[in-house]
Amino acid sequence: DPVACSGPVLAGLRGALTGAQLLVRRWVSTGGGPLPDAEEDDPAEAHERIADPAHLDEWHAHLAVVAWWTLHLWQQAAWAVYAHAEVRAEARASGVTEVILELFDRYQGEQHDFKGLVHLALMLDDEPLLVLDRPTGTGYLLRMSGLSDTFQLHTLLADVLIGGGHLPGTPQDREVVALARTAFLDGRRVIATGAFNLVAPDGSWIWNEGTPSDVPVVDGVRTLVLEPLPYERSWSAGRFIQEVPGDLRLERVLDPAEAARRLAATVPGQTPAEAFR
């Protein structure tokens, strides 16, 4: 049961991140140099180096070394439970995800790559999304689940809104859409193409390289503005987190008055020069 496992697993990850960061600080303060290799180096030697009664007692040095040598295992276990929507919802509501993301942000060692787990922890489920299209003045309320990056959101927005006949444009290739939803890559490189520029209500760009959690909440709902592409964009199709299927569905089309009112409260997108500054 991933929900039952998630409490101890995520607590273990928090402890490992905290201990690993302690080892990094002591390593720097005792001369620096390459950090220990968990596969090649002797943990006893690392313990001897970082333990100092004036700075770090034997027990905390032990915990720091254990954390460093097991962090990758806690990372794998956390991935396994975070792949379930129920765990993500509970961890987000309880504040556990916020703490873990802060620890990831503080982490200074180069031996561990947390990018995938960060995207997984930031993933939203059953999340309302208000989309306003500036060129047509129309608006749409959608609901997204399991989207691990904004490339995936971009692809599915084009599928639902252009492919669904609500906005003009060229529909996404069906294989590209399938890869953004449930299909798995088979080794080939399939190319997706951009359909809009994704813009926050304040005019700043929402970058495809980020996650849907970057879309700001306005009046209780994440709000995204679509504007014309300033230049052609393309990327490799697929889901950044292959284990989790993605979904985006249209719930209703805003009536023209509501769409106009909401668009009037937004700022036109930045120019490319402003966005890249």
Residues of the chain with pLDDT > 70, as a percent, come to 100
Residue 99 CB contacts under 8 Å (≥ 6 apart), including other chains: 14
What local confidence, expressed as pLDDT, does residue 94 receive?
95
What local confidence, expressed as pLDDT, does residue 213 receive?
96
| pLDDT band, residue 204 (cuts 50/70/90) | very high
Mean residue pLDDT across the chain: 94
What local confidence, expressed as pLDDT, does residue 112 receive?
81
Residue 143 has pLDDT above 80, yes or no: yes
What local confidence, expressed as pLDDT, does residue 186 receive?
83
Residue 17 has pLDDT above 90, yes or no: yes
Buried b (16+ CB within 10 A) or exposed e, 63-91: bbbbbbbbbeebbebbbebbbbbebbebb
pLDDT tens, residue by residue, 98-141: 999 999 998 877 778 899 999 999 999 999 999 999 999 999 99
Residue 52 has pLDDT above 90, yes or no: no
Q: What is the mean pLDDT of residues 228-254?
A: 95
What local confidence, expressed as pLDDT, does residue 277 receive?
80
What local confidence, expressed as pLDDT, does residue 35 receive?
93
Residue 81 has pLDDT above 90, yes or no: yes
pLDDT tens, residue by residue, 146-165: 999 999 999 999 999 999 99
Residue 75 has pLDDT above 80, yes or no: yes
Residue 240 CB contacts under 8 Å (≥ 6 apart), including other chains: 116, 119, 148, 149, 151, 152
What local confidence, expressed as pLDDT, does residue 107 receive?
86
CB 89 within 8 A of CB 82: no
Residue 185 has pLDDT above 90, yes or no: no
Buried b (16+ CB within 10 A) or exposed e, 207-233: ebebbbbbbeebeeebbbbbbeeeeee
Q: What is the mean pLDDT of residues 141-147?
A: 98
Q: What is the mean pLDDT of residues 166-170?
A: 96
| pLDDT band, residue 207 (cuts 50/70/90) | very high
